[in-house]
Structures are given as structure tokens and as C-alpha cells.
Amino acid sequence: MPNVEGQGPARIDRIAVSGTVAAAFITDPEDRVLLVKPASRDEWGFTGGWVDRGESPHLARPRAGEIEAFGFFAPEQAIARCGEFNRGRLGLALEARRTGRTAYQPFA
């Protein structure tokens, strides 16, 4: 990239932002949903999370103290534990599992 005044790689690095995140909807043979309670949040959600800047996705594993609790819950118990955003995701994931079709959650 040519270094035009004010538009070199350092400037681009400050504005261009990308994020990598992964989440997984996991159930056990009894159709209970795996949820995790991160130490950094008050609500439960799917297993997964953000990849830190400079970290490879393969190394983005839970660090000591990041997960406060986890467990498998019946769908209605799982929905009750989740906050608003994750309740929507969980409902869509359960519907997708039931129908065998992809579900899409738009951001509002």
C-alpha cells in the first residue's frame, strides 16, 4: 500500500476493525442445552466468545477464571437463565434444531 500522507498502515490499523467470535449450540442426548456463565457477565449463554487481538482462533480457549459455571439445562430452564439477547438466540437455535433449517437473527 502506498504511504500517502496520513493513510499509511498505522492509520489503517486504527480505523479498520474486525472481530472474530465463535459460539456453539450444544445439546446432550436428552436434548438439554449446554450454557456457560462467564465471570465477566451476569447472564448465561452459549459456549464461545471473542478472539483477542493478535490471538489465533486455535489459542482462544478459556483462561483460568473466565468461566464461573456451566451446565446442561432443559430448554425452558435454559431460556429462563439467559438474558434478552441470548434468549432470542436460544429460541432460534431450538427452532433450527427442531425444523432442520437454518435460522437467522438480525441485529436490530
Nearest in space to 35 (alpha carbons), one of 87, 100, 84, 105 = 87
Distance CA 63, CA 79 (A): 26
Which stretch of DSSP H or E encloses residue 89? helix 84-99
Residue 41, pLDDT above cutoff 60: yes
**Looking at residue 40, which CATH number applies to its domain?**
3.90.79.10
pLDDT band, very low/low/confident/very high, at 48 (cuts 50, 70, 90): confident
Q: Which residue has the higher pLDDT, 55 or 39?
A: 39
Residue 32 has pLDDT above 60, yes or no: yes
Contact partners, residue 83, CB within 8 Å, separation at least 6? 42, 43, 44, 45
Q: What is the residue whose three cell numbers read 483462561? A: 63
Please tell me the pTM assigned to this model: 0.73
Q: Is residue 8 one of the residues assigned to a domain?
A: no
**Number of compact structural domains in the chain:** 1
Q: Does some domain include residue 11? A: no
Whole domain around residue 72: which residue ranges? Answer: 19-99
